[in-house]
Amino acid sequence: MEKTRYQKGVDIINEITVTDNKEIGTHMDIVAAFKDIAPDLESFIVEFAFGDIYSREGLTKHQQTMATIASLVTLGTEPQLELHINVGITIGLTPKEIVGTIVHLIPYTGFPKVLNALKIVKRVFAQRNVKIDDLAMQSN
């Protein structure tokens, strides 16, 4: 039996955003926070953004998340960037891939957006206890 768009969306959200740390929000928390003023946001985020877009075939979760992070750095919308850096860690992007995606954008977005994004990376890495020792060897 085929899953509904809602169920597809919830499954992806659970897969990519849920962590042991209860302080770190997921997309279901966002949905819950706006239930009073925009109850249909739940459908738009769960069914459309995740059930439709994230469940497209063709890109891996790693690729989807790197594209998402690249777009959010360029937009400069920081709360969403924080959320998707967390997603990156949860699905197994390495610190090198997360930092690498952001630093790679310097020629396209300029330094300011990249530096503001890296500040968020440092905060999230600390909160999630990400080991960054080997990053020190990154430049060659």
Joined together, the tokens standing for residue 124 give 């999230």
Distance in Å, CB of 29 to a second copy, minimum: 11
The least distance separating a second copy from the CB of residue 51, rounded to whole angstroms, comes to 10
Question: Could you tell me which of 93, 39, 101, 96 has the C-alpha nearest to residue 72?
Answer: 101
Q: Do 28 and 13 form a contact (C-beta atoms < 8 A)? A: yes
Output 26 or 54, the one with its CB closest to a second copy: 54
- Closest contact distance (angstroms) between CB of 130 and a second copy is 9
Task: For the CB of residue 90, give the shortest distance to a second copy in the complex, in Å.
Answer: 18
Burial class (CB in 10 A: 0-12, 13-18, 19+), 49: middle
Cα distances from 137 to residues 93, 96, 132, in angstroms, run 18, 10, 10
Which residues form the interface with a second copy (CB under 8 A)? Answer: 30, 33-41, 43-45, 48-49, 52-54, 56-59, 63-64, 66-77, 79-80, 94-97, 99-101, 103-113, 115-116, 118-119, 121-122, 125, 132, 135-136, 138-140
Residue number with CB closer to a second copy (18 or 67): 67
